[in-house]
Amino acid sequence: MALLLNVGEEPRYVRPASGAAFSLAELQAFVGGYIEAVYLPGGVVMLVNEEGKLEGLPYNEPATALYGAGDPIAGNAIVCSMAEMGEDEEEE
């Protein structure tokens, strides 16, 4: 289960539609555009809008605090495991 951090809303948990991993379209819908991965300790990744700052998206305080690297996060973010992102699955 992934944690969705939408600006101005309470954080909430979301699941992939497939039950295993989010599709690229799902991830892009959550952040409102192209995704950029921000890797966090513990094998989790935060996906943010790649152009959030350029587009002038609002500051995301919870995501920025979670990132903790001094670089503000703009726009919505989703925190998920590598498996939910589809990175641990073997290609057939």
- Tell me the percentage of the chain whose pLDDT exceeds 70: 95
In this structure, what is the dihedral angle of CA atoms 1, 9, 64, 29, given to the nearest 10 degrees? 60
Whole-number Å distance between alpha carbons of 49 and 56: 11
DSSP H/E element including 25: helix 24-31
Q: What is the pLDDT of residue 88?
A: 61
Whole-number Å distance between alpha carbons of 90 and 72: 33
| Domain regions of the chain by residue span | 2-11+22-81
Tokens of residue 4, six digits: 């969705």
Q: What single-letter amino acid sits at 42?
A: G
Kindly report, residue by residue over 31-57, the tens digit of the pLDDT: 999 999 999 988 899 999 999 999 999
